[in-house]
Amino acid sequence: MKYQVAIIGGGPAGYTAAETAGKAGLSVVLFEKQNLGGVCLNEGCIPTKTLLYSAKMYDSARYASKYAVHVSEVSFDLPKIIARKQKVVRKLVLGVKGKLTAHGVNIVQGEATIIDKNTVECGGETYECENLILCTGSETFIPPISGVDTVPFWTHRDALDNKELPASLAIIGGGVIGIEFASFFNSLGVQVTVIEMLDEILGGMDKELSAMLRAEYAKRGIKFMLSTKVISIAEASSDDGKPQVQVSYENAEGAGAVLADRLLMSVGRRPVIKGFGLENLDLRRTERGNICVNEYMQASVPGIYVCGDLTGFSLLAHTAVREAEVAVHTILGQKDVMSYWAIPGVVYTNPEIAGVGQTEEALQLKGINYRVVKLPMAYSGRFVAENEGVNGVCKLLIADDETIVGAHVLGNPASEIITLAGMAIELKLTTTEWKKIIFPHPTVSEIFKEAL
């Protein structure tokens, strides 16, 4: 069997590449060893947002009196929340499969192995291809902490399927995944402790806004332990004999330990580089082992393209989607290049925090001059109407030539309005040019216009 394009991995990069190539009339085979949609759709972006929305609805009901609405006997049903999450995932997976099938993509379920740059083997069958696109995604990284092999702990996958709430939860890692789960379990009444090695949560996001979000959740009862190194984990027992986990740590104040009913390991993810014959291609790698690609997503061997987490640029689904489009457009002979200048990042807590472009810390490291324009979200009438007693901030970073180089928002719905700033940054609009854009009124997005 011979194809113009073979794709390994059916996550956002893989299924986007397959759909784009199939729609253009190319013959395509897509290999996926588990479920279409990859981590994002099955155990990442979509299921976590489904759970977080249920938590948000629960919070809205509990605090409805702020808006002169009275709701009595508010409660939640965790097994039904989990069941709804599974229903949403199934529906979207079927949607992805339907779109691929409609465009003539041959979906092969199984573990693919690369024989050479033009040959892939799967399930005893051999597939030949003119172009090979690698989209193998990433996996949870479990750090080599003493005792990690002897103590039961959750990964994000376990936390997504859990149907019984623990009284207390310790989370190792204050990145996006850890903080979103902290938000979810905090809303449902769990005592949450977040242990982070860095001096602030959400590394990579705007530090000032991250600190504000942390302060908000600290008020809601989450305990944050920053600049804290986990030394070991071990089994323990509560006073009434209930099994617990003990997390021993060290920080500037000395050594100590956190006891919790459950432990969530959330220190990050790493690209999948083993198990599919990557070593048979002899591709050039970075110092960290990621695959080197050019602006067209081409690897060092002609006919090989790499998209998504395997490049190590940005372990985000929307980045992977764009990389896949660039790769297929290059195969088709269409001029297109990948830009990482305006990749949005979002944390779907309540309130949300989102950023795009450069942070202050990044600009300072690069020696780029900039000025900061900062406004409370209360300058947006729509925000005030929908966020009683809640504060938020919009921060814009402006270069010497008056182009927007960074935008960061704390407050709902940051995830929905950040793209407007991303477009301004990608298109290199000046403050004068962006201010000429007409924003609908009243909308929260008007905060950008107010800030200029």
Contact 183, 217 (CB under 8 A): yes
Last residue of a domain, one of 212, 245, 267: 267
Residues 247 and 357 in one domain: no
Ranges assigned E (strand) in 21-162: 28-32, 106-109, 113-116, 119-122, 125-134, 138-140
pLDDT of 124? 94
Last residue of a domain, one of 286, 301, 332: 332
Q: Domain holding 421: CATH number?
A: 3.30.390.30
Between strands 125-134 and 2-8, the pairing is parallel
Residues 9 and 55 in one domain: yes
Residues 233 and 173 in one domain: yes
Residues 87 and 208 in one domain: no
Last residue of a domain, one of 298, 332, 366: 332
Residue 97 falls within a domain, yes or no?
yes
What is the SS3 assignment for 180? helix
Residues 224 and 258 in one domain: yes
d(CA 449, CA 452): 5
pLDDT of 97? 96
pLDDT of 313? 87
Residue 146 falls within a domain, yes or no?
no
pLDDT of 29? 98
- 24-47 burial, b at 16+ Cβ within 10 Å, e below that, comes to bebbbbbbbbebbbbbbbbbbbbb
Residues 279 and 321 in one domain: yes
How many domains in the chain?
Answer: 3
For 387-431, how does the pLDDT look when each residue is reduced to its tens digit (9 = 90+)? 998 899 999 999 999 999 999 999 999 999 999 999 999 999 999
pLDDT of 75? 97
Residues 111 and 10 in one domain: yes
Contact 194, 260 (CB under 8 A): no
Residue 151 falls within a domain, yes or no?
no
Q: Where is the binding site for NAD(+), in residues?
A: 173-180, 196, 268
Scanning 265-413, the segments in alpha helix (DSSP H) are 317-331, 360-366, 381-386
Q: Where is the binding site, in residues?
A: 49, 136-138, 173-180, 196, 268, 309
Contact 268, 173 (CB under 8 A): yes
Q: Domain holding 258: CATH number?
A: 3.50.50.60
Between strands 113-116 and 254-260, the pairing is unpaired
Residues 308 and 372 in one domain: no
Residues 115 and 165 in one domain: no
Residue 187 falls within a domain, yes or no?
yes
> What pTM does this model have?
0.96
Q: What does pLDDT average to in each consecutive run of 10 residues of the chain (452 residues)?
A: 97 98 98 94 94 97 95 95 97 96 97 97 97 96 94 94 96 97 98 98 96 98 98 90 94 97 94 94 91 97 97 93 98 97 97 97 96 97 94 97 98 97 97 96 96 92
Range of the domain at 176: 156-267
Residues 59 and 136 in one domain: yes
Residue 171 falls within a domain, yes or no?
yes
**For residue 357, which phi and psi values (nearest 5 degrees)?**
80, -145
Residue 337 falls within a domain, yes or no?
no
Residues 116 and 12 in one domain: yes
Residue 162 falls within a domain, yes or no?
yes
Residues 292 and 238 in one domain: no
Catalytic residues: 441
Contact 37, 96 (CB under 8 A): yes
